[in-house]
Structure 1
Amino acid sequence: MEKISINNYLKNNLVTLDGAMGTELEKYDVKTNDSLWSANALINHLDKIKQVHQSYFNAGADITITDTYQANIEAFENRGYSHVQALEFIQNGINVAKEARNKTNINGLVAGCIGPYGAYLADGSEYTGNYQLSDKSYFNFHYEKIKTIIETGVDLISIDTIPNFKEIKFLGKLMDQKFPNTPYWISLSIKNPAYLADGTPISQVVNWINKQTTASGIGINCTPIPNITPALKNINPLTNLPLIVYPNPGDKYNPTTKTWTTSNHNYSFEKLVPEWITLGAKVIGGCCRTTPADIKLIHKIIQTKKVPLKGLF
């Protein structure tokens, strides 16, 4: 599918995104409480990853995000794997998502996931943005992974949970300059509805993304559900790009133990999803701790809006 088709698809349709990968893999007894997190499954549990992707497609997801958020070359090398093996693990993450799509929803899309440098640090920095790298260091960290994912074959790139404005600017420029024919969205890790995690005003971030000629959307992810409505109210007036939202339920993450503590889930997708649509959300799903049941409900609500898919497939 060509870039313009993906862009039209995101602009002109309401789309169901999938939900959590890591916490679903835990249900299959896959270890996630270390520096590789869900990327552990790429080493020897591809069948489990495939089951998770299939569960989301079966729940009504139109797009699945690959299990490559924390699949960084340096992280695999730190665990004793070779550079070649690291690239193979990343390729496997793309291929297993496509296999799941082909088996369950041939019209579904596969979004190759790029996480922030903060995720590699495995200390919760993806929620603070408290790190600074040179453009050369960012290039060395991100470029080969992105290139590998695109060459393995995805429909678009999902740049997830980016908390640091300098990293956002680097990734946007990298996509525009090196991969101009690949659709992508950049999804923000926010401190609150008005500020990026590193303290940069969201208005400043959105205005910068608007100027990138090949950006396909702006997202907000892995923030508690109550933050979504006020964040959309801040972002929607500033951009014509499609908005993507995939929050977590508000559970608390401990970066030391790499575990979650459940909080009270006082929200209603029945109320919030129509509200988010009114505020410009085009792609709606879930992040950490959301489930196929949540995605099934979101899909059902989106279907009641009776917005037809516009014949791209």
Structure 2
Amino acid sequence: MTKSLPEILKNQPVVVDGAMATELEKHDIDTDNDLWSAMALIEQPEAIYDVHKSYFDAGAQVAITNTYQANIDAFVKAGVPADDAQKMITNAVEIAKRARDDAWTALTPAEQAAKGGFFAAGSVGPYGAFLANGAEYTGDYNLSVDELKDFHRSRMQLLANSGVDLFAFETQPQFKEAQSLANLLESEFPQQSAWISFSIRDSKTLCDGTSLAKAVSYFNDHDQIIAIGVNCTAMTNITAAIQTIKAVTDKPIIVYPNTGETYDPKTKTWQSQEEEASFEQLTPAWLKAGARMIGGCCRTTPKDIHDIADVLTNTK
């Protein structure tokens, strides 16, 4: 019998998956457009299964659905009818769940007992991702709380109705937007849980200028938020960010950095930079600092997730 994610986190750290778009590009899927990795839902959905499965095989316990950039408005903007867009978002969940279940049943009973469970987290990217101009790294947009909730509601309904295990409110650059998502979660999805991972300017500051400590501590009394942290920032920012978060919350801390490359929103490409250390080298420090869920974001690969899983397995 599988355990819930909060139950598992009480006893052991959990491995989250890695980049979706990076792996889809290896399947010759063009992500150089406003839909980004969601283009695969139109062109080659089975490739999404292959990516999810490769991460489970590498040691991940959580698959994040390919819905970060997939919302009704984005699909309609790209010429996809709204009804078809809804089916694609639903399909994204079904694909992740199939990979989750196939990977789980392939384990021996002893392996299942050690892992505790596999999960499909429904990705809910920020409004800035829909803008497709890099705003998830700046927070440079100004919608009201009601406008933000209206934007996110339809995707969350589709994700929940399709059976995600929890939501992933990820790469959130705005404190206000994170608050809006938590409010929407509590008022309209009382049976669901979520993690929140912020997009940060530095180890103490959200992209919109809000103190990371202030943003994190706000959610201490929100029981449906089961983990909180940061994602899609350079690996070298992570230890200090964990320390900032750990000082103001007892919730499990989630981190899944990118490889340190810089995103150019004009060319829709990543600019390489030399990274001083690897996931294998830095994961022990993140564990020591207090991280409980660790994975990878943009430009990471199954090998990176395998390296994280190796470290976590050897430190249990």
What's 2:75 paired with?
76
Residues 36-91 of structure 1: per-residue CA shift (max 9 Å, x gap):
00000011211110110011011011111010000011010111222111111100
TM-score normalised by structure 2 residue count: 0.94
Structure 1 position 136, deviation (Å): 2.2
User: Counterpart of 2:186 in 1: which secondary structure?
Assistant: helix
Structure 2 gap segments, 5+ residues each: 106-116
Residues 253-285 of structure 1: per-residue CA shift (max 9 Å, x gap):
110111112111211333321111111111111
- Bigger drift between 220-229 and 10-19 goes to 10-19
What's 2:108 paired with?
none
TM-score normalised by structure 1 residue count: 0.94
8 Å CA contact 1:116, 1:126 repeated in 2 = yes
- Which letter maps to 2:282? L
What's 1:310 paired with?
none
Does 1:41 find its partner at 2:40? yes
RMSD: 1.4
- Bigger drift between 70-79 and 7-16 goes to 7-16
Q: Which structure 2 residues correspond to residues 1-313 of structure 1 after superposition, within 5 A?
A: 5-106=4-105, 107-306=117-316
Output the CA distance in 2 between the equivalents of 1:222 and 1:172.
Answer: 20
Output the CA distance in 2 between the equivalents of 1:282 and 1:230.
Answer: 15
Output the CA distance in 2 between the equivalents of 1:92 and 1:305.
Answer: 37
- Bigger drift between 25-34 and 172-181 goes to 172-181
Structure 1 position 183, deviation (Å): 1.5
- Which letter maps to 1:301? V
Structure 1 position 12, deviation (Å): 2.8
Output the CA distance in 1 between the equivalents of 2:155 and 2:125.
Answer: 10
Structure 1 position 180, deviation (Å): 1.9
Sequence identity of aligned pairs in percent?
46
Output the CA distance in 2 between the equivalents of 1:281 and 1:8.
Answer: 16
8 Å CA contact 2:229, 2:245 repeated in 1 = no
Structure 1 position 22, deviation (Å): 0.7
Residues 143-172 of structure 1: per-residue CA shift (max 9 Å, x gap):
011011011001111111000111011001
- Bigger drift between 191-200 and 80-89 goes to 80-89
User: Counterpart of 2:227 in 1: which secondary structure?
Assistant: strand
Aligned residues: 305
Structure 1 gap segments, 5+ residues each: 307-313
Runs of 4+ in 1 over 4 A off after TM superposition: none
User: Counterpart of 1:241 in 2: which secondary structure?
Assistant: coil
Residues 188-231 of structure 1: per-residue CA shift (max 9 Å, x gap):
00000000010000111011111213210102100000000011
